[in-house]
Amino acid sequence: MYEVRTLTIKCPKCGVVENLELDKSEHDFGATGLLRVGYIHKGHVFLLNVDPHFFVRGAYIVSYGAVGSDVLLYFHGYRVLGGFIVGIKTEFISLFRRANIFDVRAYPSSSAMLYEILEAIEKFLGQFAGAKLPKFTGLHGRRYRIVSCKDIVIFSPCRPQESKYKADWLGIICNILAKSEPLDVHALSKIVSYVDENIDRAPTDEDREKLMDLAYGGAGVRV
Ligand SMILES: [Zn+2]
């Protein structure tokens, strides 16, 4: 059954109006019978529970860190893959430019200022439309290394003691992402753990193969 409806909802905290376009045939209302949709606003997430008749069953204001991977998360016109992976050292946001998807799962420490960072990235990319991106930039008061490949751009916050091989490792991740859809959370988390363990040396061809295996062992993520 094909049924599309647009819901217009105003955030009770900041007053921003969101238009949610729903297609019944496309969305999974899951075991709870509710679709969970979230909007990243400044300092909070506006979270909605929508039932299969497109009635809003609940609207909540939550923190970024409280949003699980089951929430269809949005920032401006972008789909955002949330649900942070904890305990990782090599943090980054990846952007799939063609698909308009931000993957923030590998950047848990962004949780306090996610809106500001995404907004800064959007503005930054607007300035470089079509031009070659620099290797570093400042975003919301922090320095980031940029690695890009095809339509993928990775932004990784610089740490005080940075491995000189970090860009090489991020380059491999970027290549993998350029060949696939966003990775499922298990594959992504295995890749980041592998890089965390080995980042202090230069990556070899064997590492490249290993990371490919870790990536394609997964099933891909549904966006
Ligand atoms: Zn709001």
Give the single-character DSSP code of 222: -
Q: How far apart are CA 76 and CA 71, in angstroms?
A: 16
- Find the 216 Cα to ligand 1 centroid distance in Å: 37
- Find the 26 Cα to ligand 1 centroid distance in Å: 26
Q: Which residues of the chain have pLDDT under 70?
A: 1-2, 218-223
Give me the DSSP letters along 59-79.
Answer: EEEE-GGG--TTSEEEETTEE
- Find the 147 Cα to ligand 1 centroid distance in Å: 31
Specify the pLDDT at position 152. Answer: 96
Q: Which amino acid is at 180?
A: S
Q: What angle do CA 138, 143, 146 make, to 5 degrees?
A: 85
Domain span at residue 106? 84-216
Q: How far apart are CA 2 and CA 4, in angstroms?
A: 7
On whether residue 222 sits in a domain, the answer given is no
Q: How many domains does the chain have?
A: 2
- 165 and 94 co-located in one domain: yes
On whether residue 79 sits in a domain, the answer given is no
- 111 and 24 co-located in one domain: no
- 115 and 184 co-located in one domain: yes
What's the pTM value of the predicted model, to 2 decimals? 0.91
- 92 and 170 co-located in one domain: yes
Specify the pLDDT at position 220. Answer: 56
Specify the pLDDT at position 207. Answer: 97
Specify the pLDDT at position 26. Answer: 77
* Tens digits of residue pLDDT in 14-63: 999 999 988 877 777 777 889 999 999 999 999 999 998 889 999 999 99
- Find the 108 Cα to ligand 1 centroid distance in Å: 21
Which residues make up the environment of ion ligand 1, defined by Cβ < 5 Å?
11, 13-14, 41, 46
Specify the pLDDT at position 68. Answer: 86
- 94 and 181 co-located in one domain: yes
- Find the 220 Cα to ligand 1 centroid distance in Å: 30
Q: How far apart are CA 81 and CA 71, in angstroms?
A: 9
